[in-house]
Amino acid sequence: MILEEMGEIMECDGMFIYTSEKMHRIKKIIDQVADTDVTVLIQGESGVGKEVVARYIHVNSLRRDKPFMKVNCAALPQELLESELFGYEKGAFTGAYCQKPGKFELAHGGTIFLDEIAEIPLSLQAKLLQVLQDKEFSRLGGKVDVRVDVRVLVATNKNIEEAVKKGEFREDLYYRLNVVNITIPPLRERKEEIPIFVEYFIDKYVKKYNKEINSLSERTMETLLAHDWLGNVRELENMIQRYAVFGSEKAIVDGLSNLIQKDLPQEGEGQSFFPKNGLSFKQVVSEAVIEAESKIIRAALELTHWNRKKAAMMLNISYKALLYKIKKFDIGSRGEVCAEDLAIFS
């Protein structure tokens, strides 16, 4: 097996896997800062593994036995984000029937990971700066300061330096966060790691779905190595998950329709594949991806007897995202979205 053969030049702790020299240098930095309390800014494209690095830092720190709290700063509106981070007092707003601690309090003694930090509104950036400087804050509607001992790790897929120049991100907060900067290269710049990730994900989903699937053929592996992976490791994992669900490499070929490596059609066979008004590459790729994604979702729903929550867990996406895709792809039968579900989008 590849994982066994790589020996000491690869590391697999949780999902922190690497073989490239670039990631080896990052691993050295992580090992140097893990058991300190220094704030770390993790940058990189979506899907490169920023959260994996953050969790690896935590589990290798002196705080490993304390909580690890993650907050996605882009997932909540400003009002909810403040209460999520700092909590609120009873009566702070309509519906606040009791006191609720925020993630900073819940992470006391441990680590808080603020993902998509560039999305935090300016009005909250001052409060975050106070926590970093003074280790204290007040809950929403509170009159007493709360002291916490929390290590802060942050991540972004945006150019935060550019945001500072545009006045969209506080310069003083940026310098507080950017004590140690780790920039994770995209998967297309470390393609030698793709075979390692493929085997890791195959093993993961074989166990998760209790199914037996074969290792990929050399031809399919070459297809994966030729792909640019704009979604990075997350995109690769989703592709292998499709393979695990269907048990056929065709699921990968369909998913990577811009890199299809199959026999050319005989005369007349492929004419219906192209739009009547001429070949539109983007349209062909988009339609192929939609078809493949729709098949994956329907297969997951069938495997879970149309239990949407279980299907969402199987697909490793949020319940809301699954409902959106069911509606978008018009997947009916017992998986038809009910009025209660559609209320989420209103």
Q: Token digits for 27?
A: 């691993």
Q: Token digits for 87?
A: 């909590």
Compute the 3-state secondary structure of the chain and give helix, strand, coil in percent, each to the nearest 5: 55, 10, 35
- Phi, psi dihedral angles at 233 (to 5 degrees): -60, -35
pLDDT band at 265 (very low <50, low <70, confident <90, very high): very low
Q: Which residue would you say has higher pLDDT here, 162 or 14?
A: 162
pLDDT band at 253 (very low <50, low <70, confident <90, very high): confident
The pLDDT score that the predictor gives to residue 14 is 44
**pLDDT at position 193 over 50:** yes
> What domains, with CATH codes, occur in the chain?
21-184 (3.40.50.300), 188-264+276-345 (no CATH)
Q: What is the pLDDT of residues 38-47, one digit of tens each?
A: 999 999 999 9
Instruction: Please name which of 184, 110, 105 lies closest in space to residue 153, comparing C-alpha atoms.
Output: 110
Please answer whether residues 86 and 128 qualify as being in contact, where contact means their C-beta atoms are separated by less than 8 angstroms: no
Helix axes 194-209, 232-246, angle to 10 degrees: 40
The pLDDT score that the predictor gives to residue 333 is 53
The pLDDT score that the predictor gives to residue 285 is 54
Please answer whether residues 244 and 211 qualify as being in contact, where contact means their C-beta atoms are separated by less than 8 angstroms: yes
The pLDDT score that the predictor gives to residue 89 is 78
Please answer whether residues 85 and 71 qualify as being in contact, where contact means their C-beta atoms are separated by less than 8 angstroms: yes
Q: Which residue would you say has higher pLDDT here, 239 or 296?
A: 239
Q: What is the pLDDT of residues 267-292, one digit of tens each?
A: 444 444 445 455 555 555 556 667 77
In this prediction the pTM is 0.70
Q: Where on the phi/psi map is residue 135: left (φ > 0), alpha (ψ -120 to 50), or beta? A: left
Q: Which of 14-28, 219-233, 270-284 has the lowest mean pLDDT?
A: 270-284
Distance of CA 317 to the CA centre of its chain: 10
Please answer whether residues 155 and 116 qualify as being in contact, where contact means their C-beta atoms are separated by less than 8 angstroms: yes
Q: Tell me the residue length of the chain.
A: 346
Instruction: Please name which of 68, 85, 61 lies closest in space to residue 146, comparing C-alpha atoms.
Output: 85
Interatomic CA distance for residues 259 and 279, integer angstroms: 16
* 49: Cα within 13 Å, side-chain hemisphere: 24
**pLDDT at position 109 over 90:** yes
The pLDDT score that the predictor gives to residue 259 is 41
**DSSP calls for 99-116:** -B--HHHHTTTSEEEEET
